[in-house]
A = this chain, B = another copy of it.
Amino acid sequence: MSMDAVFRALADPTRRQLLDSLHIRNGQTLNALCAEMDMTRQAVTKHLAILKEANLVTTIRKGREKEHYLNPVPINEIADRWIGKFERGRLNALGDLKKRLERED
């Protein structure tokens, strides 16, 4: 729910890589995800916990394995609620800056 958790989760390149990996192949087990990462399984587990906290990943226990699923909803919420705000002001902001820079010379 908290946008802060999502931003924080997306800040780390390893975690974005995990999301990418799940985007390519959804439902991977912890071991499968670890195979692509250059770190210990325990480190990957911690990253996945942070992604789960941000509600970007959901897990399902399957026997002794654990499948991981991508939930893109929080990413879209950020896009809608936060990024959209700056997108609307894009051209105006650039125009203002340009004017200022020209006046500077």
Contact = CB atoms under 8 A, between A and B. Distances in A.
Mostly, the A contact residues are helix
Contact of A72 (B4, B67, B93): B93
A71 B89 CA distance: 10
A89 B69 contact: no
B69 A75 contact: no
Given A10-B11, A76-B90, A96 B83 contact: no
B93 A87 contact: no
B97 A75 contact: no
9 contacts: A4-B13, A7-B13, A23-B86, A26-B93, A60-B104, A71-B94, A72-B89, A72-B93, A76-B86
